[in-house]
Chain A
Amino acid sequence: MKFSTIKFELNGKPVEIEVPPAMRLLDILRETFKLTGTKEGCGIGECGACTVLLNGQAVASCLLLAGQLEGTKITTIEGLVHDERMNLLQRNFLECGAVQCGFCTPGMLLSAYALLQKDARPTTDDIKNAIAGNLCRCTGYKQIIQAIQKSTESLSDPDQ
Chain B
Amino acid sequence: MKNFTYKSPASLKDASQLLGDDWSQSIALAGGTDLLNLMKNEVETPTRVVNLKQIKELNKIEYNSGYGLKLGALATIAEIAAHPVIKAKYRVLHEAAREIASPQLGNMGTLGGNLCQRPRCWYYRNEFPCLRKGGDICYAIDGKNKFHCIIGGGPCFIVHPSDMAVALMALDANVTIFDGEKNHTVPISEFYLLPEQDMYRETVLKPGEIVTHIYVPDVGSGEKSGYFKFKERGIWDFAVVSVAVMLRKKGKTIREARVTLGGIAPKPWLEPHVSENLINLVPDEDNVSAICDQSLRNAFDLGQNGYKILLAKNLMKRMILKLAS
Contact = CB atoms under 8 A, between A and B. Distances in A.
B32 A64 contact: yes
B108 to A, nearest CB: 5
Interface in B92-110: 101-105, 107-108
Given A22-B1, A46-B236, A59-B108, A65 B6 contact: yes
Nearest to B32: A63
Contacts of B314: none
A54 B107 contact: yes
B32 A133 contact: no
Interface in B129-187: none
Interface size range on B against A: 20 to 34
A122 interface: no
B289 interface: no
Main secondary structure of the interface of A (DSSP, over half): mixed
Nearest to A43: B40
Contacts of A67: 6, 8, 49, 51
B37 interface: yes
A96 to B, nearest CB: 21
B313 interface: no
B103 A132 contact: yes
A18 B29 CA distance: 20
Contacts of A66: 6
B108 A64 contact: yes
A134 B101 CA distance: 12
10 shortest interchain CB distances as A-B pairs: A133-B102, A21-B6, A67-B6, A57-B107, A22-B3, A60-B104, A133-B104, A22-B1, A63-B36, A20-B3
Interface of B: 1-6, 8, 29, 32-33, 36-37, 39-40, 49, 51, 53, 78, 101-105, 107-108, 235-236
22 contacts: A21-B4, A21-B5, A22-B39, A44-B40, A46-B102, A48-B102, A57-B107, A58-B103, A58-B107, A59-B107, A59-B108, A60-B108, A63-B37, A65-B6, A67-B6, A67-B49, A68-B51, A68-B53, A111-B103, A129-B103, A132-B235, A133-B101
